[in-house]
Amino acid sequence: MLPEAAARRIRLTLQYDGTGFRGWQRQPGCRTVQSELESVLARLLESTARTAAAGRTDRGVHATGQVVSLDVPAKWSAVELARALNALLPADIRVADAVAAEPDFHARFSAVARSYSYRIGTTGTALSPFRRRWCWPLARPLPEAVLDEAAQHFVGGHSFAAFAKAGQPERGDECMVHRSEWRVPNRHGIVYVVVANRFLHHMVRYMVGTMVDAALGVRPAGDIVALLAGAPGLVMSRPAPPEGLFLTRVYYPGDSLDEDVTDETVP
Amino acid sequence: MLPEAAARRIRLTLQYDGTGFRGWQRQPGCRTVQSELESVLARLLESTARTAAAGRTDRGVHATGQVVSLDVPAKWSAVELARALNALLPADIRVADAVAAEPDFHARFSAVARSYSYRIGTTGTALSPFRRRWCWPLARPLPEAVLDEAAQHFVGGHSFAAFAKAGQPERGDECMVHRSEWRVPNRHGIVYVVVANRFLHHMVRYMVGTMVDAALGVRPAGDIVALLAGAPGLVMSRPAPPEGLFLTRVYYPGDSLDEDVTDETVP
């Protein structure tokens, strides 16, 4: 770590196409967003820079508003750092914004909420070649009323144990969902938008998988309420595939959770 | 060719991401849109199907509204053909529409006008990873007023010899431009939209290259009028790169050329 006087904490907003990455987190022998970023930072800063991300996105998951904190020597301004990073990073990662942050700012621990979007292409095999990479291509019709009602059940504070990959018991499974709704942005598909204080492992993908099963009539819509209530004997739905999922925004103290999350970044 | 009674003429609307193709036209040993389409048709129809396209797009050029005509055995309906094609075509080509056409319909010779769009990403190296494939990433600011005025000069009937690759003298170089304008659809970039009865080889790319040179101050804006007037001694600008160019629509008798060409198909 740098001595305090010589360091500047920076907050980066990153966008990445998750297709070519094994997720955010550095892993030996894998191409990950963190390893690409830290390897470019090492070249620029001539020292090791440790980065922290608000959301450790999984393999194949995208981001339009990932937030990353790191320390750089004070001779680097945020603007100069962003310019240098964008010149050197591979084209599937981009720094959309960079600002100087308070010394105690931490991308993950300072965050009070996160927003994810999940995109479903509803035109099946006729899906536009310009959109196919970033959605779950579902050829079957999904009744909007079922999806809308299902999404409403998630709003509020619940245990999401039935909507998460097992194995994170240390922090509990309570989440507070502020927003949960389906949108129809264009004729290519539909988008699920969810804002919550925290998300368990694969949680959005399990939520979407369950809502889609209800919309397809594979399981009763009432199962969502039962699963949230911890009813025994119910089987989890399969999680929706990662390529439809985007981390779109991270909220910090002072940010309004009611502000609409419109996103024209992705097709 | 099929005997007339057994054949049905079909009009397909195709979308393709031109990145992976050496253009529309069949060429030995190259991956082209026509060769991919005709090879799938040969499997489906168990005979050779000859396709004709409205615009023979070049290597790297995209299409959201390419029109193709072909004959199929009458047992194939247009809807069934589209479904079968979309199931077998590679994901970078999609049939957006298929209808039965009059027996004398020809995608190229029946067309009365075509529309192209040219996309420029104006955010430079900070270009979104979700948009980078389909635009010309220009990092420098382009004054809108210069672009708008330049675009207006193209409207009407002119010789476009100074805006085309040499070597097509047999059909003349007169074109009638119905629409020529720049738009700002979002914060990621700008789009040039042009509608004309015909286009010479590389014509849109030369037009865009010249307008951008004028906007950058590399050459006087007045050069466009001079080039259209055939003034001697003027050097052509370099054509804009193919990855920003899209064939967006083909017009046939009865279609209104004044109808707006909005396009949400591409990011």
Cβ proximity of A51 and A141 under 8 Å: no
Residue of B nearest to A64 (CA): B128
Nearest Cα of chain B lies from the Cα of A16 at a distance, in angstroms, of: 6
Please check the confidence at residue A3 and state whether its pLDDT lies above 60.
no
Q: Which of A37, A80, A125, A248 to mutate to test the interface with B (most CBs of B within 10 A)?
A: A125
pLDDT in tens, B65-118: 999 999 999 999 999 999 999 999 999 999 999 999 999 999 999 999 999 999
| Mean pLDDT on B13-27 | 96
The active-site residue, picked from A58, A71, A173, A223, is A58
| Residue A80 with chain B: CB contacts under 8 Å | none
Parallel, antiparallel or unpaired: strands B7-16 and A156-159: unpaired
> Which residues on B lie below 8 Å from A125 (Cβ)?
83, 86-87, 94
C-alpha closest to that of A14 among B99, B11, B128: B128
Q: In whole numbers, what is the pLDDT of chain A averaged over residues?
A: 92
User: How far is residue B22 from each of residues B16, B54, B166, measured CA to CA in Å?
Assistant: 12, 17, 20
Chain B residues in contact with A265 (beta carbon < 8 A): 128, 130
Contact A128 B15 (CB under 8 A): yes
Question: Using 50, 70 and 90 to split pLDDT, how confident is the model at A257?
Answer: confident
Residue of A86, A134, A186 lying closest to B130 (CB–CB):
A134
Model pLDDT for residues B31-78, shown as the tens digit of each residue:
999 999 999 999 999 888 899 999 999 999 999 999 999 999 999 999
Range in A50-54, A214-218, B166-170 the model is least confident about: B166-170
Cβ–Cβ of B266/A267 closer than 8 Å? yes
What does the pLDDT look like over B136-145, one tens digit per residue? 998 788 999 9
A interface residues, B as partner, C-beta within 8 Å: 15-17, 62, 64, 82-83, 86-87, 91-96, 124-132, 134, 186-188, 264-267
Report residue A247's pLDDT band, with 50, 70 and 90 as the boundaries.
very high
- Per residue in B222-267, pLDDT (tens digit) is 999 999 999 888 999 999 999 999 999 999 999 998 876 666 566 5
What is the mean pLDDT of the segment spanning B21-30? 95
Q: What is the pLDDT of residue A133?
A: 87
Active site residue A213: no
Average pLDDT over residues B206-212: 97
Q: What CA–CA distance (Å, rounded) separates B123 from B131?
A: 11
Closest Cβ–Cβ partner in B87, B130, B266 for A266:
B130
Query: How far apart, in whole angstroms, are the C-alpha atoms of residue A40 and residue A17?
Result: 18
pLDDT given for residue B158 in this prediction? 95
Q: Quick one: average pLDDT of A176-204?
A: 93
For residues B119 and B61, is the Cβ–Cβ distance under 8 A? no
* Residue contact A186–B264, C-beta within 8 A: yes
List the beta bridge partners of residue A15: A94
Alpha-carbon gap, residue B184 to A170, rounded angstroms = 50
pLDDT at B267: 55
User: Cα separation of B144 and B148, whole Å?
Assistant: 6
